[in-house]
Homo-oligomer: A and B are copies of this chain.
Amino acid sequence: MAGCRPVRLERNDTDMTASETMREMLSAMARKGWRITEQRRTLARIFAEHEGYLSPKEVYDQMNARHPGVSLDTVYRNLRELSDMGVLEQFVMMDGGLKFRANCHVRHHHHLICLSCEKTLPLEYCPMEDRVDLPGNYKILHHRFEVYGICEDCQTNGASSAERTPET
């Protein structure tokens, strides 16, 4: 998907188009034996076309715009199930809010996240690869690395609307 290209690669080196992404999402659902309902098709389209994270509410709003009448709980159900099966990445923002995005599973990476518009840019670098000096007696299971900032567009447009200081 568009938001998934590694930093400093040209735009279309490894990109999937939105429709490729959408096809992938739908076939993942099908592989799981899911029925492809109108809503799920719409859901897939929304994430395929959006680079970055969306909150349940934002997804709900976009669903309603394109496919009026959906209910918020169905959106929640589908988001949860899709992230359980790895099609979406779930994410807890620093203020505790939930977010989802189409999963960039090309390779392990981290994100640079715009605090204003919440678009994300992948970072190829992973601090776990060799730098960290970890105690040997821990069984290491996960890690988390994110960088937060304001992207160029948002700096220019003074679009500080959604900008907020993370609470952590």
Residues on A facing B (Cβ under 8 Å): 7-8, 83, 89-96, 98, 112, 114-115, 121, 123-125, 127-128, 131-135, 137-152, 155, 166-168
Contacts and interface: CB of A to CB of B under 8 A. Distances in A.
21 contacts: A7-B133, A90-B167, A90-B168, A92-B93, A92-B94, A92-B95, A92-B168, A123-B134, A124-B133, A125-B133, A137-B152, A138-B151, A138-B152, A139-B149, A139-B150, A139-B155, A140-B149, A141-B148, A141-B149, A143-B145, A144-B147
A96 to B, nearest CB: 5
Nearest to A121: B135
A138 B112 contact: yes
Contact of A135 (B7, B95, B125, B131): B7
A166 B140 CA distance: 13
Contacts of A91: 168
A89 B137 CA distance: 26
Contacts of A7: 133-135
